[in-house]
Structure 1
Amino acid sequence: MFTTYQEALDWIHGRLRLGIKPGLTRMEWMMDKLGSPEKKIKAVHVGGTNGKGSTVTFLRSILQAEGYEVGTFTSPYIEQFNERISVNGKPISDEEILRLTNVIKPLADELEGTELGGPTEFEVITAMAFYYFANANNIDMVIFEVGLGGRFDSTNIIQPLASIITNIGLDHTNILGNTYEEIAFEKAGIIKSNTPIFTAVKHPGALKVIEEVADKQSAPISRLNQEFQISGHESIVKGEVFSLKSKSLSLEQLEISMMGQHQTENASLAVLAADYLNQAGFQVTEQSIRKGLKEAYWPGRFEILSEKPLVIIDGAHNQEGITALVHELSSRYKDRNIHIVFAALRDKKLDEMIGMLDGIADQITFVSFDFPRAAKAEELFQISKSASKLAVEDWSSYLLEKMKSLKPKEMLIVTGSLYFISEVKPLITKSL
């Protein structure tokens, strides 16, 4: 038995040594021992490559605006570990984490002695979430974000009311496959029989795979630019405005506070899922949709931490994320001198990501950070073709100095791995 929160956290993180072990057998074993908590939860399942966390947040905010108690399970965290299991956007307490860890640890120890082997870090946290939400009072809905892929992801033991697939990109290719179609097949694994699927996937090959799985599962499908359309998009000072039309909806001038055209797609998926929930025993009004969208906030996604000096953090951790970031910078900040600080995991498509950043940055600095799969600053520096580049080991001292020296027409963008962003945000926030 653990007696402190820190002991519990150390044990959870210690399970990172087991790496990633795709498959549902260990989860099913633990759920059986816990009395099948996953069957006691009303849920929406959200998968995809980018935009999962934002979509979860939009949907949570809409339902919350209607007065529902909404649980969320997300990863990774940006500010504190506990936010991975939250209710109405508020992370559960340290005491709850300690209690849940003490529930799951005996099962992990027992599982370790079987041929299945011990559960991974992610499996432990997922089991904690299922147990917590099934036994918490007055939780009306839980929105589960897929951790990796979909088909063999730990969360994929639920029977949701609806499923969402945000988009498909070439990420985690060493595990999920090297083509859009192979990755789409893994993501499509969350589609359940006769359960509606909402998707913003645009790649033709990937979309075809999702359509085939949906057809096989008799799952009604709603696709961007087919069953629903986004129009009239306009970027405003802090957010986006757009209109959304589907067979059952026609909403003009919807406003979101998250920045980026791609966020209109994530918001639309959340709106469509919320609208569908009207047929599943929930009541979601247009007023709540509008209020929820505008109030939705998700840390680390094109987030302005300071106006003077202008400092933005963005967890653009793969090609799709960098593409969206570069688009926003080129459309919103044409008149600024852009300085980028970048850190990344070694298993990403670094040459293409850095190539895009080289094209937009007036100066780019590559940094190292303490994480098992993190690339070293010098490795990133060697890939870059920028005429104005630096490699720095001590990123925290560098960032603080750089912020002090920024001139009025300059801006600082800190981007790359979400694990890096989770370390950067508290440091910058504290220094302001």
Structure 2
Amino acid sequence: MIEAAARERQIPLLRLGNEIQVAAIDKEWAGIQATVTTPADTYRDLRVPLLGLHQAENAALAVAAVDGLRSRGWDISDGALRDGLARTRWPGRLEVIDRHPIVLVDGAHNPAGLERSLAAVRTLARGRPLVIVFGAMKDKDLQSMLAQLRALDVPVTFSAIGWHRAAAPAHLAEVFGDGAETADSASGAISWARERAGANGIVLVCGSLYLVGEAIAVSRASKRAAVASRR
């Protein structure tokens, strides 16, 4: 459909894997290093601090977009392009919000997004305990996402979310099967997960941007309380 519309309107169409090529190295906690080739140029050793090898594809599309702007007269230097990628932040996408243990939040809320996030976390968690906090809206593809969590074979707790469309933790646990825990708040779920993970472990909070928002709020409140207690 998109290709047909582009042809009809005589608009150039650049496709990842065709006109746009990317090769990347996963630097794990340091992000990725990518080489991107577009019809205009090849950009080597681009640094992106986002976690997960899949972010190389997003970086490649951003580079191609810059090429498109340049072709229309925008003055964007290679230095600005590299600096922009190196400074990229994406709150709620494999974002570290706490340490000891590391707490990651990721807003992937569909099977494809969750698959990529879990692949990245498996790499990051090699040799370390991993615990999942999951919550989702009840209109999502819960069966597929919960099947991915089962395949990880790690401790999982299902969290309530303060939103009317949220799936009940008890329902998620029932669909998931034996072995899951439930919590009536993000705070309770994260507290349980941190204890299970231990200081050297990793906690991943995922499944919903609403849950991610609550997890970030819990983390900020905890940090404010810690600062206040030291005064």
Q: Which amino acid aligns with 1:412?
A: V
Residue of structure 1 in register with 2:98 after alignment? 306
Aligned to 1:61: none
Asked if residue 378 in structure 1 is aligned to residue 158 in structure 2, the reply is no
Aligned: 1:421 with 2:204: no
Secondary structure (helix, strand or coil) at the match of 1:213 reads helix
TM-score of the aligned structures, taking structure 1 as reference length: 0.49
1:106-117 alignment, distance < 5 Å: none
Q: How does 1:27-38 map to 2 (within 5 A)?
A: none
CA distance in 2, matches of 1:300, 1:366: 18
C-alpha contact 2:28 2:124 (8 A) present in aligned 1: no
Matched length: 223
| 1:234 aligns to 2:26 (yes or no) | yes
How many Å apart are 1:313 and its aligned residue?
0.6
Alpha-carbon separation, structure 1, partners of 2:187 and 2:28 = 32
Equivalent pair of 2:32/2:52 in contact (CA under 8 Å): yes
Report the CA distance shift for 1:236/1:370 in structure 2 as closer, same or farther (over 3 A).
Answer: closer
Letter in 2 for 1:320: A
In the alignment, structure 1 residue 407 sits paired with structure 2 residue 184: no
Counterpart residue type for residue 222 of structure 1: L
Per chain length, whose mean CA-contact separation is higher, i.e. which structure has more relative contact order (CA < 8 Å, sep 6+)? 2
Instruction: Note the C-alpha offset of 1:404.
Output: 5.2
Once the 2 structures are TM-superposed, how far is the Cα of residue 407 of structure 1 from its aligned partner? 1.5
1:224 paired residue number: 16
Mapped contact 2:26–2:52 kept (Cα < 8 A): no
TM-aligned CA distance change 1:390 to 1:232, over 3 Å: closer
Note if 1:393 corresponds to 2:191: no
For the 8 Å contact 2:131–2:193, the answer to whether it is kept is no
Kindly indicate whether the alpha-carbon contact (under 8 Å) linking 1:322 and 1:357 is maintained by their aligned counterparts in 2.
no
Q: Structure 2: any 5+ residue segments left out of the alignment? A: 224-231
Report how far residue 228 of structure 1 moved: 1.2
Deviation at 1:384? 0.5
Deviation of 1:269 after TM superposition, in Å, equals 0.9
Q: Aligned in 2, Cα 1:237/1:391: closer, same or farther, shift over 3 Å?
A: closer
Q: Describe how 1:97-108 pairs up with structure 2 within 5 A.
A: none
1:278 is aligned to 2:73? no
* C-alpha spacing 1:361/1:303, structure 2 compared with 1 (3 Å): farther
Superposition deviation, residue 396 in structure 1 = 1.8
Cα pair 1:242 1:253 within 8 Å, conserved: yes
Structure 1 CA distance for aligned equivalents of residues 153 and 205 of structure 2? 12
Asked if the contact 2:100/2:201 (under 8 Å) is kept, the reply is no
Measure, in 2, the Cα distance between the counterparts of 1:297 and 1:282.
23
Segment of structure 1 superposing worse, 404-413 or 291-300 = 404-413
- Out of 255, 269, 288, the position equivalent to 2:80 is 288
Instruction: Give the partner amino acid of 1:223.
Output: R
Q: Secondary structure at the match of 1:221?
A: coil
Q: Kindly tell me: are residues 232 and 301 of structure 1, through their superposed partners in 2, closer, same or farther at Cα, counting changes over 3 Å?
A: closer
| Structure 1 residues 332 and 351: alpha-carbon distance in aligned structure 2, compared to 1, 3 A threshold | same
Superposed displacement of residue 406, structure 1:
3.9
Distance change >3 Å, CA 394–CA 231, structure 1 → 2? closer
Superposition pairs for residues 329-368 of structure 1, below 5 Å? 329-368=121-160
State whether residues 130 and 204 of structure 2, in contact with CA within 8 Å, keep that contact through their aligned partners in structure 1: yes
1:319 pairs with 2:111? yes
Identity value in percent = 28
Partner secondary structure for residue 237 of structure 1: helix
3-state DSSP class of the match of 2:62? helix
**Contact 1:313–1:413 (CA<8 Å) still a contact in 2?**
yes
Amino acid at match of 1:427: V
Contact in 2 for aligned 1:335/1:409 (Cα 8 Å): no
For 1:245 and 1:219, how far apart are their aligned partners in 2?
A: 20
Q: 1:234 to 1:309 in 2, by over 3 A?
A: closer
Task: Give, in angstroms, the shift of residue 252 of structure 1.
Answer: 0.7
The Cα shift of 1:392 comes to: 1.8
**Cα deviation, residue 253, structure 1:** 0.7
Give 1:270 deviation, angstroms. 1.1
Give the CA deviation at 1:347.
0.9
Query: Hey, what's the Cα distance between the residues in 1 that align with 2:53 and 2:220?
Result: 26
CA distance in 1, matches of 2:148, 2:102: 21
Deviates more, 1:239-248 or 1:407-416: 407-416
Deviation at 1:304, TM superposition (A): 1.0
